[in-house]
Amino acid sequence: MGELCKVILVDDSDDDVFLFERSLSRHALLRLVWRGVDGNQAIEYLSGAGKFADRTQYPWPDVMVLDLKMPGRSGFEVLEWMQGKANMPVVMVLSSSDLAQDRVRAAQLGATMYQAKPFELENFDRMMRRLLRLCERKNDAQPEVTPPSTSVSIQDLDRGRPGPSK
């Protein structure tokens, strides 16, 4: 514990982003390093395209918080793009959808956590604590340069214990 967790947020809702940032400000170890509004921007950031090649200004994230339903490419399309690529950040889906099929599809595409948008500040604070635990587990599970060797299922995180390797 004690390491700064770099977060990128990809969400087209300014209201949700406002609540996210407000709640994030209460957690000193979580730092929002960039915000995008659609899946195309997320892919540009992760691929280091154009201005995003400057990792001093646009640092590599530990965690990406990703909305599913956005203009341009959706969050599902971002998750599909990430498939098979090395060294991708851990993904927490933050979506207005609480449909079981969306949760299952996100998990199948590699999302580590799924959170229906809470819309209340106290629920955002609870989500930030889960996000911080996710960062701590990621840092504990890997050497500084190597990608994580284990993954945690959404169900296991909800129960508060690490899941099996996939």
Q: What is the pLDDT of residue 141?
A: 65
Can you list the residues of the chain whose pLDDT is less than 50?
1, 143-166
Q: What is the pLDDT of residue 119?
A: 66
Q: What is the pLDDT of residue 143?
A: 47
Give long-range contacts, CB 8 A cutoff, 24+ apart: 135-138.
135/3, 135/5, 135/29, 135/30, 135/62, 135/63, 135/90, 136/1, 136/5, 137/162, 138/62, 138/63, 138/90
Q: Residue 55 in 3-state DSSP?
A: coil
Structure token digits, residue 41: 């921007």
Please tell me the pTM assigned to this model: 0.81
Q: What is the pLDDT of residue 101?
A: 97
Structure token digits, residue 56: 């001093």
CATH topology of domain 5-159: Rossmann fold (3.40.50)
Q: What is the pLDDT of residue 46?
A: 98
CA-wise closest residue to 106 among 161, 149, 153, 139: 153
CA atoms within 13 A on the CB side of 93: 30
Q: What is the pLDDT of residue 124?
A: 81
Structure token digits, residue 147: 């990608």
Structure token digits, residue 129: 């604590």
Q: What is the pLDDT of residue 125?
A: 82
Residue pLDDT, tens place only, 55-98: 999 999 999 999 999 999 999 999 999 999 998 999 999 999 98
Q: Residue 60 in 3-state DSSP?
A: coil
